[in-house]
Amino acid sequence: MLGRVVAGMPLSEVLAHVIYRVEALSGERMYASILLVDASGKHLVHGAAPSLPASYNEAIDGLEFGPMSGSCGAAAYNAVPVIVDDIETDPLWEPFRDLALNHGLRACWSAPTVPPTAACSEPSPTTIRFRRARRTTISKRSRSSRA
C-alpha cells in the first residue's frame, strides 16, 4: 500500500484498494468503507466504499456525526469502536434505519482510525457492514459520550 502512496496514486484509489483487500479476507460477503472527517471536523465524507451502492454512499456523504448517528458517526464522535449487531433494532440507527435496511444492510461495526498528526484531531471511522444481523466476539459495546 505504501508503494501506491509513494507512487502518487490518488488517495481515493489507495483507500479503495485497502477496502478491496479487507473485503477479500472475509469469509462471508461484507461491505467495508472508510469515511474521512472534513476540514470542519464535524462531518464525515466519502473516502472509499467501492462495494456499497452509490446511492447509499451519496446519502451518507457529508453526514454531521454525533453520538446517535449510526455506527460510523458514533465511532467518530466518541473515538471508540461501535458494534451494532442488528441495525433494525439498535437506537443508534434510528435516523438511518430505513436507508440501511433498504440497501440490505443489517449489521455494522465501526472503529475510529486515529489520525497520526495534529492537523486532523478527529478519528475517521473504518466500517464493516453485513447483510445479516450478526454478533461479534467483542464483549463490550461502547456508547460513552464525549467529556
Q: Are 82 and 71 in contact (CB under 8 A)?
A: yes
- What is the predicted pLDDT for the residue at 120? 47
Mean pLDDT, residues 5-21 taken together? 81
Least confident of 37-46, 108-117, 120-129: 120-129
Kindly report, residue by residue over 80-116, the tens digit of the pLDDT.
899 999 999 999 999 999 999 999 999 998 988 765 4
All structural domains of the chain, each given as residue ranges with its CATH number in brackets, are 2-130 (3.30.450.40)
Q: Are 23 and 31 in contact (CB under 8 A)?
A: yes
Element (H, E) at 11: helix 11-25
Kindly report, residue by residue over 51-85, the tens digit of the pLDDT.
999 999 999 999 999 999 999 999 989 888 999 99
Rounded to whole angstroms, how far apart are CA atoms 85 and 107? 5
- Quick one: cell of 110? 465501526
CA dihedral 35, 38, 40, 42 (to 10 degrees): -10
Whole-model pTM? 0.76
pLDDT above 90 as % of the chain: 40
